[in-house]
Structures are given as structure tokens and as C-alpha cells.
Amino acid sequence: YSGKDVWSEIVDTMRRFRARLKDAASMPVMNVCVSRLNIDELPGLVSLAGGIGFFCSFVPVSLSPSEQETDGFAAYAPEMAVQEADHGRLTRSYEELLRLKRVGAPIANSSRFLRDSLEFLKTGRTEWKCDAGLLYLSVSPEGDISICHHFKPFARYDTPDLAKLLAAESTGGLNRKQRLSCPGCMRPCWAEVTHVMHDLPSAWEARKSMRLSEELGAGAAEK
């Protein structure tokens, strides 16, 4: 959608999409980019998503320091950056998200990710250890493979003996070097995989979310 006044169309599309998911165990997710523009709306978005059979995933905004330093994944948009004056509102919103998570609201993020996101939005610090190149890889639409989209590809999907290359000690050394040079991020597609594999409470929450998704799916099918 590129026009104005399309909110109702977007929500209706989400409803129709949910109705077409025949498997009740499906887990459709509504991604929410968290910035200073929507700090106060976060808890309400959980209710909106749950009402149409979706989970909410809250992704902290990543911004470039200037127009010249954009990388295709982080834009230069200073009006979206969280300011110190916003910290109180931000903390209250995330405390409410954590409370909703505890009582079983449809929030896809782990509690650990939510706590780390609050710290990241306030300070820019990341509080988790990345496993890029170990637990996950990034494959571009063109088939290029890198440890994540932040780095240049080291192979393609059709590289001969790809499995051997991935298992090679030299590849592991390159991956370690790249991870150490990375400033860090708060993208759930990476962080949540790490948490599920290494953090028992996060793994347990993921299992509870799947059960809740089945309930939401069954409820959506009845409407």
C-alpha cells in the first residue's frame, strides 16, 4: 500500500489471510518496528493482533547515523530515534509488554528479547551473543550465502561441495572474525534462534507460544 487511509484494507487483508490458514498450528506474525513514533501504541497493538488471530513481534528500529552510511537495512531517519526524554514512556510500554507476555498474550518475542530490546533502544547496546554462521546463515533472493546480511557473501546456493565448504575450518575462522567485528543488532530472526537454543526460559516460552497459536487459530476458524 502506498496511499493514505488504507488501515481498514490492511486489517481486512490480515483477517482474510488468517482465515485461509487451514492449519490451526500456523503462527502468523505482525511485525512492529518500534521507534519513538509508536512507543505508546505497543500494548494496544498486541490486542489488535490477537483479535484477528495474529501474534505481535516487536523489532527495535535500527537507524544509520547519516544518509551516506545506509546499508539497505538501516535508514537515516532521525525523527524515529528514541531520545532520552522518551525513556520513561518506553520503559512503561515495555514493562506492560512483559506483563502481557507473562499472562499469555500473543507476543512472539521472548521475555529476554523484550528486556534486551529496551536496553538497545535506550543505549544502543546489545546484550546477547550472536551465533551467525553457527546456528543460522543468510541467503539472499539471488542465492548468495553470508553469515548474515551485514557481511559480504562467501558462497552461493549452487557452490560445488557447499556442505564441505560450510564445515571447513577456514570458513569457521572467517565466520568468527566477522562476528567479532560486528557492532551487533537486535533483529529477532537472529537473536530469538540463539535464545531458543541456549536459554531454557526462552525455549519454554516458544513452546507455550505454539500452543497459544493453535488456540488462536481454532478461534479464528470459528468466526
DSSP 3-state assignment of 5? coil
Beta strands 55-60; 138-139: pairing state: unpaired
- For 75-104, the pLDDT digits (tens) are 888 899 999 999 999 999 999 999 999 999
The amino acid occupying position 137 is L
pTM: 0.88
Residue 149 φ then ψ, to 5°: -65, -10
Burial 63-88 (b: 16+ CB within 10 A, else e): bbeeeeeeeeeeeeeeebebeeebee
With a pLDDT cut of 90, the percent of the chain lying above it is: 67
Across all residues in the chain, what is the average pLDDT? 90
What confidence tens digit (pLDDT) does each residue in 160-183 have?
999 999 999 999 999 999 999 888
Q: What is the pLDDT of residues 102-131, one digit of tens each?
A: 999 999 999 999 999 999 999 999 989 999
